[in-house]
Structure 1
Amino acid sequence: MLGVHLSVLLLLLPACLQAARILAVFPFPGPSQYINVVPYLKTLASRGHQVTSINAFPQKKLVKNFRDIPIPEVFNNYDEIINKLADPMNLWLENNFVNKFFVDITRSVLANKEVTETLLPPGKDHYDLIIVEALRSDAYYGFAAHFNAPIIGISTFGTDWNIDELVGNVSPISYTPLVTAGFTDRMTFGERVSNFVDTTIAWVNYKLVHMPEQEKLYEKYFPIASKRVPLNELNRNFSLVLLNQHFSLSFPRSYVPNMIQVGGLHISHKPAALPKDLEEFVQGSGTHGVIYFSLGSNVKSKDLPAERLQLILKTFATLPQRVLWKFEDDQLPGKPENVFISKWFPQPDILAHPMVKLFITHGGLLSTIESIHHGKPVLGLPFFYDQFLNVKRATQAGFGLGLDHKTMTEQEFKETIERLVKEPRFAEKARQMSDRYRDQPMTPLDTAIWWTEYVLRHKGAYHMRVAGQDLGFFAYYSLDVIAALLAGALLILTVTLGLIWKIAKITGLGNTKNKQKTQ
C-alpha cells in the first residue's frame, strides 16, 4: 500500500524543477515500440516539459506541450523487411540485414525536411535533454552533442551487450544470452558455446560493418558536433538508460546505477470496460471462458500461409472456449461461430478481464509483460528477434508453453491449448508472477518520470557514471594488464634461463666432455 501512496503522491506533486525542453527520437516503424513510450512522453508533457517527438505515429489529437515530427519515410518496404526477417539466414547475413535496416531508419530521421530545417542548423533551437530509442541508431545520438545536452536511452526490449556498452555495464555471456538466441540464463555447455560464438559474431559485425556507416551519417549531418565529440565517445556517454524489463519478468542480473528497470511502462493500472459487443461475446462463453489470440503489430495473421490458417481455424472450431482473434481483414472465410475477429482489440483491457483464460501470442515483450501483469498464462508462437527468448522464459518460469508455428500439427496445437487451460499450475504460476511483478514501491511509469527529472535536476547526473564508460576495449577487459603481465613473465623467464645458461657455462655444469676427461 505504501508503494501505491508514493506513486499517487508523485503524480499529484507539480514538477519540482524548471520546465525543460525535451527532444525524443523514436522513429521505429513498429507500433509496439512507440506504444511503450507514449505514456511516458505524454506524462512529461503534462508536468510542464515541452516535448518534441520524432516518430512514425503522430498523435491524432493535439496534446498540450507535445509536438510531433512525423517520419513516414521509415515505412518504406517495412512489411517486406518483417517477412524477410522470418526467413532463415546465417548469423552474419542476419546482422548485415538488421544493421542495414537501422542505418536506413537513421538516414530517414536525419534527412527528414522538418528535422534538417528546424533541428540541425546550428543555433536554430535548443534542448535541455535528449531521449532516444537506444537501438542500433548511433548517429542520431548526435543530437546530444549538437545541443550539448544529456542523453537518456530507452530500450524497449530490455538489455544486451550493445545497450550495456552505453553505460559501461557488465554483461557476462556465461549467463546473459544474446536476445535472438532463444536461451535463458540457465544455459548448458553447448548453449554457452553457441552464445559465445553468436555474441562474438554480432559484436564484430556491429563494430566493423555497422558503426562505419553510422559514423558517416554522424559526420554528414552533425559536422560541427562530430569534430568536437567522436561518435565512439558519444555512444558511451549516456546519463541514464531505462529498460523495458524487470527481474520478476525474466531473470536477475547486474546493472550499474544509471540503468533503471521500468518494464511495463505503458500499462494502464485502471483497465477500461470492454465495448458492448465485445463484452456480450465474452459473457456468452459461460463457464468455459475466452482465449485471446494476437500476433502483435508486426506479424499479421492474414498473411499466414493458407494451410496454417486452416489448421488454426479447425482447432478453434473444436474448442469449448470462445476466441477473440486479432485478424487484419474484414472477412475470414470458414470462421467458426465461437471466433470473434477484429483488426484491433484493447489488449490490456481484454487481458484484465476475469473470463479470459489464455493468451496465444507471438511472444513480443510488451505482450509478455501485459500477460504477466494481468496474470494470464500464454501459448507462444514466436517469429523472430527476442520473441524466442520471451517464450523460452515463459516456459522456464512455468506460466506458458511454446510451439513452432511452422511445424506444429493440429493435434499439438489443440493439446497444448487444453493443457494451458485445464492444468491449474499454469494459471497459478501466472498469478504468482503477477504478484511479484506488481510488488514494486512505485509504478514503472512513475519510476521513469522520477529518474528522468533526476537527470534534469542534476544537470546530466554524471556522478552516476561508472569509470568503465571512459575506458577503451583493452583497458575495460584488462587485456592490457594481462598482456603486460604475460610480457613481464616472459621477460623474467627469459632472463632466468639466460642466467642459468651462463652459470652452467662458467661452472662447467652439464659439460659431459669435461666430466669424461676428468675421469
Structure 2
Amino acid sequence: MISLKSIAAALWFLACVTNYVESAKILAVFPFPGPSQYICVQSYLKTLAARGHEVTSVSAFPQKTPLKNFRDITIHIDQSHHDEAVISAIEQIAVGKLAELQFAKEYTSLTSLLVFNNEDFQQLLHSDEQFDLIIIEVFYQDALYALGKHFKAPIIGVSSFGADIVIDQLVDNVSPLAYVPAPSGMNMDRMNFWQRLDNLYANTMELLYTHLEIIPEQQRYYEKYFPNATLRLTDVRRDFSLLLLNQHYSFSWPRPLVPNAIEVAGMHIENKLKKLPTDMEAFINASSRGAIYFSLGSNVKSALLPKQKLQEIMNAFASLPVNVLWKFEKTDLAGKPKNVFINKWFPQSDVLAHPKVKLFVTHGGMHSLIEAVHHAKPIVGTPVFYDQYLNVEKAVYKGFGVGINFRNFTSTELRDAILEVLNNPKYTERAREISASFHDRPMNPLDTAIYWTEYVLRHKGAPQLRVAARHLNFLQRHSVDTMAVLFGIPLLLAIFLFYGVFQVLAALFSSNDNAHKKRKRD
C-alpha cells in the first residue's frame, strides 16, 4: 500500500521537475557568534548546494567536512568573549527595555564589523565575482543588506526568531499592535487594555531606538564599506525579495503576512532520525518511568552558572523518579546525582524523538520550542533573555508547558514543575494536538523554504510578490495626507461656518444692544 508520505514525496519531486531552475551562485551571510542562528539555516544551505547551486557561506561555523558546491568564508571569533557577552546580556536585560536594546546594538555592531573586517570577505567584496542571490540573517545589521545592490542580486532575509515590527518593515508587512505582540515581551495575542499599552510601549521603543540609534550607526558602516553606493540605507533595507520566518501559527498565533513573508519554522529539523549513541540510549531505557532532557541551548552554558544555581538544579534532579539527560559543557560535575547523565553535546532532535523521553526542560529558545512541538513533547521552561520569555509563555498559554523564573527558582519549584507536567497527562495530550497542527502543511518547512528561494531565482527577484508600500513615504503609507484632506477640509469648513455664524450673531447682538441703549436715552 502506498503511504501518504510516498505520495507527498512524489508530488514534491514532480514540483521540482516542473519548476526547474538553473544552478545559481548564492552568497549566504550569517555572522552571529552563537551557533543557534546558523543551526536555523544549515540544512537549508546544504540542500541548496545538493540541488546544484553554488553556495558561499560567511559564518563562524565552517563545515567540518568539505561539501560539493559549498564554500566557507570563516568569521573568526573568541568564544570566551562571546560567553562573557551572553553573561553580560543576562544581567543587562534584567534592568529594562532600554538596556536590552543597547545590548542588541552592541552585539550586532560587533557582528557587522566581524564580517566587514574579515580579509577573505573584503577580497570577495572587491572581486569581480558575481552572485545570483544573497541570503542574510536579518537582525539589526542593515549595512550588510547593501550586498544585494552591490552584487546586483535579489536578497532573501532569514529571521531565526520570526517577525517583529522592525523586521516587518523590510517587506512592508504590518503588525497591528492590538493583537500582534512584540517578541521581546510576554503578552499573547488576546490582550487587555494594560497589555496593549505595554505592547505599544515595547514596539514604540524598538522602532525609535532602531531609527535613532541602530540605523545611524549602520549608516556609518554603509558609507565606509560601500563608498560608491548611491541609494540611502533606508531604501536599501526595504529592498528584500523574500523573508523566511522561523515561526508558525500553530504554536503562536495567526497574524497578517504579505505574500513574500513565509513561515518556515522547523526547516532546520532533519526528517530522518539518527540512532542515539549507545550510552545515551541505555541510560534512557534504564529509567522505567521514562526520562527527561535538560538544556539551556547553545548560548547559555550550564557549566557557567553560579554554584548555588547548579546546586538547586542538582537537588531537584536528585529528587526525581526519572533519569535526566543534561547538556553540560564540562566532562565532570561535582556532586552529580546518580540519575543524571551529562554530556557536552546531545543530538537534541533525536533525543526528543525518543518515545521514552517524556519532557523537555528548556530555556525556551525558538529552535528548542520548535523541536518540542515537532516531536510533541511538553516543556518546563526557564527563560533567560529576549524572545525566550514569550516562547515559554506561548507554551503555558497553549497548555503544553509550565514556566519558572530562571533568576530565582528553588530546587522545590523546579521539581514541582517537572512532576506537574510528568504526572498530568493534559500537557502531553495538548503537545500532541499542537504538533499535529504544526505538521499539517502542504509541504514540510524545508521544502517550502527551498521552493520560495528558487521561485525568487526563477522570477528574477519576484517583484510580483512585493507590496507597493515600498514606493511610498511614511505619510503616504499611513494615509496621513489623504486623511488630512478627507477630514481636514470638512473641519476647516465647519470652523469657517462657525466663525461666520458667530460674526452674524455678534453683529446682531451688538445691533440690539445699541438699539436698547438708544431707547433708554430717549
1:477 is displaced (CA, Å) by 1.8
CA contact (8 A) 1:330 1:342 kept: yes
CA contact (8 A) 1:157 1:386 kept: yes
Which residue of structure 1 aligns with residue 352 of structure 2? 351
Which residue of structure 2 aligns with residue 28 of structure 1? 32
CA contact (8 A) 2:379 2:402 kept: yes
| 1:75-114 equivalence runs, <5 A | 75=79, 77-87=81-91, 88-114=94-120
* CA RMSD after TM alignment: 1.8
Residue by residue over 1:390-429, the C-alpha shift from the partner in whole angstroms, topping out at 9 and shown as x without a partner, is 0000000000010002222222211111110010100101
Separation (CA, whole Å) in 2 of partners of 1:197 and 1:159 = 17
The residue identity in structure 1 corresponding to 2:241 is S
The residue identity in structure 1 corresponding to 2:130 is H
Separation (CA, whole Å) in 2 of partners of 1:379 and 1:191 = 24
Q: Say yes or no: does 1:222 pair with 2:226.
A: yes
1:511 is displaced (CA, Å) by 4.2
Q: Say yes or no: does 1:279 pair with 2:281.
A: yes
Which residue of structure 2 aligns with residue 407 of structure 1? 408
Q: 2:209 aligns with which of 193, 205, 211?
A: 205
What percent of counterpart residues are identical? 47
CA contact (8 A) 2:166 2:206 kept: no
CA contact (8 A) 1:86 1:384 kept: yes
Which residue of structure 2 aligns with residue 468 of structure 1? 469
Which residue of structure 2 aligns with residue 270 of structure 1? 272
| 1:25-174 equivalence runs, <5 A | 25-73=29-77, 75=79, 77-87=81-91, 88-118=94-124, 120-121=125-126, 124-174=128-178
Separation (CA, whole Å) in 2 of partners of 1:390 and 1:499 = 60
| 1:347-426 equivalence runs, <5 A | 347-426=348-427
**Structure 1 residues 83, 511: closer, same or farther in 2, change over 3 A?**
farther
Which residue of structure 1 aligns with residue 312 of structure 2? 311
Separation (CA, whole Å) in 1 of partners of 2:257 and 2:413 = 40
The residue identity in structure 2 corresponding to 1:279 is E
Separation (CA, whole Å) in 2 of partners of 1:172 and 1:459 = 31
The residue identity in structure 1 corresponding to 2:168 is D
Which residue of structure 1 aligns with residue 244 of structure 2? 242
**Structure 1 residues 3, 137: closer, same or farther in 2, change over 3 A?**
farther
Which residue of structure 2 aligns with residue 176 of structure 1? 180
Residue by residue over 1:222-271, the C-alpha shift from the partner in whole angstroms, topping out at 9 and shown as x without a partner, is 122x21x2211111111110111111121111111111111001111121
1:514 is displaced (CA, Å) by 2.7
Residue by residue over 1:79-116, the C-alpha shift from the partner in whole angstroms, topping out at 9 and shown as x without a partner, is 11111111122322321221121122112211211111
| 1:445-464 equivalence runs, <5 A | 445-464=446-465
* Unaligned runs of at least 5 residues, structure 2: none
The residue identity in structure 1 corresponding to 2:250 is S
**Structure 1 residues 389, 399: closer, same or farther in 2, change over 3 A?**
same
CA contact (8 A) 1:96 1:209 kept: no
TM-score normalised by L of structure 2: 0.95
**Structure 1 residues 427, 518: closer, same or farther in 2, change over 3 A?**
same
Which residue of structure 1 aligns with residue 196 of structure 2? 192
Separation (CA, whole Å) in 1 of partners of 2:13 and 2:445 = 13
**Structure 1 residues 492, 45: closer, same or farther in 2, change over 3 A?**
same
**Structure 1 residues 10, 512: closer, same or farther in 2, change over 3 A?**
same
Residue by residue over 1:336-385, the C-alpha shift from the partner in whole angstroms, topping out at 9 and shown as x without a partner, is 11110000001000000000011000000100000011010000000001
The residue identity in structure 2 corresponding to 1:29 is P
CA contact (8 A) 1:152 1:240 kept: yes
Separation (CA, whole Å) in 1 of partners of 2:80 and 2:128 = 29
> More displaced, 242-251 or 84-93?
84-93
* Unaligned runs of at least 5 residues, structure 1: none
The residue identity in structure 2 corresponding to 1:254 is P
**Structure 1 residues 189, 510: closer, same or farther in 2, change over 3 A?**
farther
> More displaced, 473-482 or 304-313?
473-482
1:282 is displaced (CA, Å) by 1.0
The residue identity in structure 2 corresponding to 1:276 is T
1:11 is displaced (CA, Å) by 5.0
CA contact (8 A) 1:508 1:514 kept: no
Separation (CA, whole Å) in 1 of partners of 2:76 and 2:490 = 60
CA contact (8 A) 1:3 1:442 kept: no
**Structure 1 residues 74, 165: closer, same or farther in 2, change over 3 A?**
farther
Residue by residue over 1:157-188, the C-alpha shift from the partner in whole angstroms, topping out at 9 and shown as x without a partner, is 01110111011111011111111112211222
SS in 1 for 2:330: coil
**Structure 1 residues 204, 338: closer, same or farther in 2, change over 3 A?**
same
CA contact (8 A) 2:155 2:240 kept: yes
**Structure 1 residues 250, 74: closer, same or farther in 2, change over 3 A?**
farther
Separation (CA, whole Å) in 1 of partners of 2:247 and 2:156 = 16
CA contact (8 A) 1:128 1:150 kept: yes
Separation (CA, whole Å) in 1 of partners of 2:113 and 2:190 = 39
SS in 2 for 1:67: strand
Separation (CA, whole Å) in 1 of partners of 2:162 and 2:54 = 27
**Structure 1 residues 505, 185: closer, same or farther in 2, change over 3 A?**
closer
CA contact (8 A) 2:359 2:380 kept: yes
Separation (CA, whole Å) in 2 of partners of 1:127 and 1:464 = 21
The residue identity in structure 2 corresponding to 1:135 is F
Separation (CA, whole Å) in 1 of partners of 2:180 and 2:120 = 40
The residue identity in structure 2 corresponding to 1:82 is V
1:74 is displaced (CA, Å) by 7.3
Residue by residue over 1:426-462, the C-alpha shift from the partner in whole angstroms, topping out at 9 and shown as x without a partner, is 0101111111111111110000000100010001000
1:53 is displaced (CA, Å) by 0.7
Separation (CA, whole Å) in 2 of partners of 1:253 and 1:514 = 70
1:5 is displaced (CA, Å) by 2.8
> More displaced, 407-416 or 443-452?
407-416
Separation (CA, whole Å) in 1 of partners of 2:450 and 2:405 = 39
Residue by residue over 1:291-325, the C-alpha shift from the partner in whole angstroms, topping out at 9 and shown as x without a partner, is 10000000011111111111111111111100000
TM-score normalised by L of structure 1: 0.95
Separation (CA, whole Å) in 2 of partners of 1:9 and 1:421 = 40
1:495 is displaced (CA, Å) by 2.0
The residue identity in structure 1 corresponding to 2:501 is I
Separation (CA, whole Å) in 2 of partners of 1:98 and 1:437 = 30
Separation (CA, whole Å) in 2 of partners of 1:41 and 1:356 = 30
CA contact (8 A) 1:2 1:441 kept: no
SS in 1 for 2:406: coil
Separation (CA, whole Å) in 2 of partners of 1:136 and 1:364 = 19
**Structure 1 residues 320, 472: closer, same or farther in 2, change over 3 A?**
same
